Amino acid sequence: MSNSFFARQLAAYPRAHQDRANLLLHAFAVPVFIAGFWTLPAALLLGHWVLAVAAAGLAGLSNGVQGRGHGREAERPRFGGPGDFVARLLTEQLVTFPRFVLGGGFARAWRRPKDPATLGLREPKA
């Protein structure tokens, strides 16, 4: 993966992360994914099979929760196949979301005023 891959993903990230419920889900689910992701190989190396299954389950559950959150967004992610899905998933969890938070993108998205169209409200007719 090149720097341009990371730059493109970070540049597109705010468009797919505007809904506050989705942001909140990500705030909790991404750390759970990261914990499960790094616990899995450690548990396998140490022979802790139950912990490995639990870690994989946590990572999978986290991914499912985030997928539900993305369903709330006006712009949803599209993938170019299984390899693209895995590459973008791992990059989002381990690189892009932490950069989004630490770079202030999360706070800007949280403070952004709600668009009436996303609330199901209509503009008053003149």
Q: What is the pLDDT of residue 74?
A: 86
Q: In angstroms, what CA-CA distances link 45 with 40, 52, 54, 58, 106?
A: 9, 9, 15, 18, 35
Q: 44, exposed or middle or buried, with CB in 10 Å at 0-12, 13-18, 19+?
A: middle
Q: 93, exposed or middle or buried, with CB in 10 Å at 0-12, 13-18, 19+?
A: buried
* Residue 89 predicted with pLDDT over 70: yes
Domain map (residue ranges) of the chain? 8-111
- Indicate the range of 43-47, 76-80, 81-85, 119-123 predicted with least confidence: 119-123
Output the pTM of the full model.
0.81
Q: What is the pLDDT of residue 115?
A: 60
